[in-house]
Chains A and B, each alone.
Chain A
Amino acid sequence: KAGVTQTPRYLIKTRGQQVTLSCSPISGHRSVSWYQQTPGQGLQFLFEYFSETQRNKGNFPGRFSGRQFSNSRSEMNVSTLELGDSALYLCASGESYNSPLHFGNGTRLTVT
């Protein structure tokens, strides 16, 4: 099976702009989660989607949003970018409740 695919791999944006990141989960996985990884804060949970419904949301401002489509593909959007949004954004998909999350290679976002 193909792994979790994230596009693009790298993004450079300017403060105030918005950005959309894309994630294709492993075939058959209905749970898709997003995480932000930074050197200072580590890995932080953004949100989880299951069957097109947001099931959980982390402690991030409303500028961060996401959605999941009927084919389980997911997108994450960040509006009004700030310098502090520079990070590696990781998407992960899961098969069932007790199974591990499988992570994509991430999108490296740099905000200048």
Chain B
Amino acid sequence: ELKVEQNPLFLSMQEGKNYTIYCNYSTTSDRLYWYRQDPGKSLESLFVLLSNGAVKQEGRLMASLDTKARLSTLHITAAVHDLSATYFCAVTPLNTGNQFYFGTGTSLTVIP
């Protein structure tokens, strides 16, 4: 059974601090995605990682992918309150079209 595990599940951090969310998956995949979901809202695409060693950055968020370790990280730099949300990673196994398997989600709360 394909598993996508994120940790931590819950993260409370102070503004200005750095932290990393981890996403481990159990299948061979050539694509990994990060999404953000605000309460009561839909999912917003953050990053698309398509190759081993890929690194993408947008503002205070940076995502990376290690396909050999089947691990992706989402690093938060100098957190601000606006980053409070739930973050999901998702993988697509090879040759499955757009069948996304989502992680459990990490609920991030940034405290002023």
- Taking beta carbons and an 8 Å cutoff, which residues of A are in contact with B? 31, 33, 35, 42-45, 48, 50, 55-56, 58, 90, 92, 94, 97-106
Among A44, A55, A105, point to the contact of B42 (Cβ < 8 A): A105
Decide: B41 and A100 in contact? CB cutoff 8 A.
no
Chain B positions 17-50 with a Cβ under 8 Å from a chain A Cβ:
31, 33, 35, 41-45, 48, 50
- Whole-angstrom CA separation of A101 from B31 in the bound complex: 12
Q: Which residues of A contact B31 (CB under 8 A)?
A: 98
CB-CB under 8 A for A103 and B42, given A42-B102, A42-B105, A98-B31 = yes
| CB<8 Å pairs between A and B, sample of 18 | A31-B97, A33-B98, A42-B103, A43-B88, A43-B102, A43-B105, A44-B102, A45-B99, A45-B100, A48-B99, A56-B96, A56-B98, A94-B98, A98-B50, A100-B35, A101-B33, A101-B98, A105-B42
User: Could you list 9 further interchain pairs (A-B, Cβ under 8 angstroms) beyond the known A33-B98, A48-B99, A103-B44?
Assistant: A42-B104, A43-B105, A44-B102, A45-B99, A48-B98, A55-B98, A56-B98, A100-B45, A105-B41
| B48 pairs with A48, CB closer than 8 A | no
Task: Chain A residues near B45: list those with CB within 8 A.
Answer: 100-102
In the complex, which residue of chain A has the Cβ closest to the Cβ of B103?
A42
Chain A: interface secondary structure?
Answer: strand
Interface residues in B53-112 (C-beta closer than 8 Å to A): 88, 90, 96-105
| Cross-chain contact of B97 among A42, A43, A55 (Cβ < 8 A) | A55
| Contact residues in A for B43 (Cβ distance below 8 Å) | 90, 92, 103
The CB with the most chain A CB atoms within 10 A, among B43, B44, B50, is that of B43
With contacts A98-B31, A100-B33, A100-B48 taken as known, whether A56 is within 8 angstroms of B42 at the C-beta atoms is no
In whole angstroms, how far apart are the Cα atoms of A90 and B96 in the complex?
19
Query: In whole angstroms, how far apart are the Cα atoms of A68 and B80 in the complex?
Result: 42
Given contacts A100-B48, A103-B42, contact A56 B88 (CB under 8 A): no
